Amino acid sequence: MCANYTPSKREAFSHHYGLDRGIFDNPAEAFPGYLAPILRESRETVGQVECLNAVFGMVPHWADMKLARQTYNARTETVASKASFRNAWKRNQFCIIPAENFYEPNYETGKPVRWRIAHAEQRPLSIAGIWEWKANGPDDLPVISFSMLTINADGHAVMSRFHKPGDEKRMLVLLDPEQYQPWLEGALVNDPQVYQPYPSERLVTEEAPLPPRTKAKGVQASLL
């Protein structure tokens, strides 16, 4: 379960995704409740992709903003039926979360140590997600939020090294460039190939302990 990642830098949006990204005053790393950029189909121009800031953690219209602390990941096995996610899934509200890397706990030393997982080709990781819209967020302003999709990864050469011993191994759904537009359009929602674990040889890992007090404070960091 991914609860911490590094959003892609502004240059990656231009070089990899061919998009201009707005200047978002966000923390370097994202945690549940933080703002981070996502990609989705434009609400105004058919076939166009837009980049916007959203809350990491799904907040449906009926929920308090604090729910984002529990809904940052959505299991593909239950996303269509869980109350927090089913509306977004039914309405084909799919997104891509551009990430420089993501972090998971490794227990091989007997205690949790944060490790960094990135693409072996030094390009962004494009995480498949869903997004939701809430009309009355903080200060009565509308809020867009998102959740990352996860799949089972038992036996995966990389992801089996993370999370507590005995726990089910999970990993994010990662997309390749030819899948970006079809995913956003909803054309791949029933394609089983999308929900296969990403090849382990295309990922690299390294130990990356979390320094003390690195979480940014304030409304620009978190809406919770």
Domains of the chain by start residue, with CATH: 5-207 (3.90.1680.10)
Separation in Å, CA 180 to CA 76, 85, 187, 198: 18, 21, 10, 15
Both tokens of 2, joined, read: 């991914």
Residue 108 corresponds to which amino acid?
E
- Residue 94: partners with Cβ closer than 8 Å, 6 or more residues away: 40, 41, 128, 129, 130, 131, 183, 184, 185, 186, 189
- Measured CA to CA, the distance from residue 210 to residue 103 in angstroms comes to 10
pLDDT tens over the chain, length 224 residues: 799 999 998 888 888 898 877 667 788 999 999 999 999 998 777 778 999 999 999 999 999 999 999 999 999 999 999 999 999 999 999 999 999 999 999 999 999 999 999 999 999 999 999 999 999 888 888 999 999 999 999 999 999 999 999 999 999 999 999 999 999 999 999 999 999 999 999 999 999 997 776 554 434 446 66
Q: Given the structure tokens 């379960």, which residue do they identify? A: 1
Q: What is the pLDDT of residues 155-194, one digit of tens each?
A: 999 999 999 999 999 999 999 999 999 999 999 999 999 9
Note whether 67 and 58 are within 8 A (CB).
Answer: yes
In this prediction the pTM is: 0.92
Separation in Å, CA 38 to CA 53, 114, 177: 6, 24, 15
Both tokens of 112, joined, read: 């949790």
